[in-house]
Amino acid sequence: MFEKDMKVAYLLDFYSEALDSHTAAVMKSYYNDDLSLAEIASGVGISRQGIRHLIKKGEEQLFFLEEKLSLAKKHSELTEGIERLEALSAKLSARGLDSESRELLSVIEILAKGS
């Protein structure tokens, strides 16, 4: 059985534009639209095995891009950092604000808007 690796769906969000349009469309149908290999095959007009091959090839490309660029990893790390800063911001607000705390809060708000 061919099992879905949901990390691929996450990588597809970052790198789908780097794939050729046919491979990207097939992968989006499989991962985002949750279509079966048979459903995609009938819509595209190639065999189920051909679809599986395209998906595997696309997965390899996505993992290669992530290995070289690390965009998904960096995004996750930044998101986690912003969440931690927001939690710290809430604690500081509860204690009352001095000028350094207000400055920190303004930086956190800027970062949070950019995520």
Residue 5 identity (one-letter amino acid): D
Each residue's pLDDT, cut to its tens digit, for the chain (115 residues) gives 456 788 999 999 999 999 999 999 999 999 999 999 999 999 999 999 999 999 999 999 999 999 999 999 999 998 898 888 888 877 877 777 777 777 877 887 787 776 6
**33 DSSP 8-state letter:** S
pTM as predicted:
0.79
Tokens, residue 80 = 């986690």
